[in-house]
């Protein structure tokens, strides 16, 4: 393979790779954005789980929101046993959820604005299991902790750059507040991500909603510009590449 060929990382989401030329560009930072309950955490966790079970790629899942117990319980519903992979040393779940007392000091707090502690923790886990996939769920939690967007942006850019420099592909989830129509409180995609995927769960009639997915941007890729149907099935998230969302 030439140095200029973009290596692709399979997403582990059935149907999604077909929309993006075979997968995420290896070593890139991809933002998974969407309103509450649109499936961001499930998609990101599935990326880590399938990374191991289908592609033999170890992954680190950093949770800043839900506790690992809840994540494991929810994913088991889709037949994805994270606990087992964790015991086998194929995934690391880094618990920085609010239930952990050490969280504010670990992820940095006003006025210090420093993510180097978080970075050191993530780097250790990457090394320990030779990870090539990393998830940060969710960036939005940090946005609430840091009052200066500019400094958070700078710190975060450095964190993402240092993680992806190791060759890891980084997925970051970000919540779009309910009332927003754009990408969220701070225009993350402009400074950080080489790719942005948006998940929707829009009302299509008085009695129903419909899930869909959009590849808003993906550098170096000829991606679909349509909004495609997506469902959360008993086996996790699935995308229908040939099916255009009824809401769009
Ligand atoms: N077993 C399941 N079968 C079908 N749908 C499910 C199942 N488990 C969860 N869901 C759906 O997925 C949603 C939660 O998905 P997820 O936690 O990934 O959302 P999220 O975008 O991360 O939300 P938040 O912004 O609150 O973190 C639930 O609200 C529910 O609609
Ligand atoms: Mg979530």
Whichever domain contains 209, its CATH number is 3.40.50.300
Give a yes or no: residue 54 inside a domain: yes
C-alpha 3 to ligand 1 mean position (Å): 39
C-alpha 140 to ligand 2 mean position (Å): 10
36 lines ligand 1 (CB under 6 A): yes
Q: Note the pTM of the prediction, 2 decimals.
A: 0.93
Give a yes or no: residue 169 inside a domain: yes
Query: What is the distance between the alpha carbons of residues 12 and 203, in angstroms, rounded to a whole number?
Result: 27
Residue nearest to atom 18 of ligand 1 (CA): 39
**Residues having C-beta closer than 5 Å to ion ligand 2:** 41
Give a yes or no: residue 24 inside a domain: yes
Place of tokens 């079970």: 53
C-alpha 85 to ligand 1 mean position (Å): 22
For residue 26, the enclosing domain spans: 8-244
Nearest ligand to the C-alpha of residue 44? 1
Structure tokens of 206?
Answer: 């008085």
Give a yes or no: residue 2 inside a domain: no
User: Which of 1-5, 133-137, 187-191 shows the lowest per-residue confidence on average (mean pLDDT)?
Assistant: 187-191
Give a yes or no: residue 1 inside a domain: no
Give a yes or no: residue 168 inside a domain: yes
Check residue 78 and give its pLDDT: 98
User: Residues with Cβ < 8 Å from 57, sequence gap 6 or more?
Assistant: 9, 51, 131, 132, 133
Give a yes or no: residue 193 inside a domain: yes
Give me the DSSP letters along 194-242: SEEEEEEEEE-SSS-EEEEEEEEEETT-----SEEEEEEETTEEEEEEE
Check residue 111 and give its pLDDT: 45
- CA angle (238 as vertex; 122, 200 as ends), nearest 5: 80
pLDDT tens by residue, 132-164? 999 999 888 777 677 677 777 888 889 999 999
97 lines ligand 1 (CB under 6 A): no
User: Which of 18-22, 38-42, 85-89, 141-145 shows the lowest per-residue confidence on average (mean pLDDT)?
Assistant: 141-145
Q: Residues 244, 47, 98, 156: is their CA dihedral positive or negative?
A: negative
Q: Out of 177, 184, 232, give the residue to mutate to test ligand 1, the one with the largest number of ligand atoms within 8 Å of its CB.
A: 232
37 lines ligand 1 (CB under 6 A): yes
- The DSSP bridge pattern shows strands 236-244 and 8-9 to be unpaired
Higher pLDDT, 39 or 216: 39
Query: What is the distance between the alpha carbons of residues 82 and 192, in angstroms, rounded to a whole number?
Result: 29
Nearest ligand to the C-alpha of residue 236? 1
Number of domains forming the structure of the chain: 1
Query: What is the distance between the alpha carbons of residues 195 and 173, in angstroms, rounded to a whole number?
Result: 12
Residue 110 scores a pLDDT above 50 = no
Give a yes or no: residue 3 inside a domain: no
- What atom of ligand 1 comes closest to residue 201's alpha carbon? 31
C-alpha 117 to ligand 1 mean position (Å): 30
């Amino acid at each position: 393979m030439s140095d200029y060929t973009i290596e692709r990382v399979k997403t582990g989401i059935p149907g999604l790779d077909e929309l993006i030329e075979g997968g995420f560009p290896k070593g890139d930072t991809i933002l998974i954005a969407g309103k509450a309950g649109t499936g961001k955490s499930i998609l990101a966790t599935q990326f880590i789980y399938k990374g191991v079970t289908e592609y033999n790629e170890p992954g680190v899942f950093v949770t800043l929101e839900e506790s690992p117990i809840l994540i494991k319980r929810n994913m088991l519903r889709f037949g994805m046993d994270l606990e087992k992979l964790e015991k086998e040393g194929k995934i690391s779940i880094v618990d920085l959820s609010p239930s952990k007392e050490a969280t504010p000091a670990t992820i940095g707090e006003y006025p210090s604005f420093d993510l180097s502690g978080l970075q050191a923790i993530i780097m250790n886990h990457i090394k320990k299991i030779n990870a090539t996939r990393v998830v940060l769920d969710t960036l939005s939690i940090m946005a609430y902790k840091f009052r200066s967007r500019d400094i958070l942006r700078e710190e975060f850019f450095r964190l993402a750059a240092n993680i992806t420099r190791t060759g890891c592909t980084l997925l970051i989830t970000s919540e779009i507040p309910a009332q927003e129509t754009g990408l969220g409180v701070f225009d993350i995609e402009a400074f950080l991500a080489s790719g942005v995927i948006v998940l929707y769960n829009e009302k299509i009639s008085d009695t129903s909603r419909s899930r869909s997915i959009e590849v808003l941007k993906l550098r170096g890729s000829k991606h679909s510009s349509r909004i495609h149907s997506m469902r959360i099935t008993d086996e996790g998230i699935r995308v229908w590449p040939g099916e255009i969302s009824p809401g769009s």
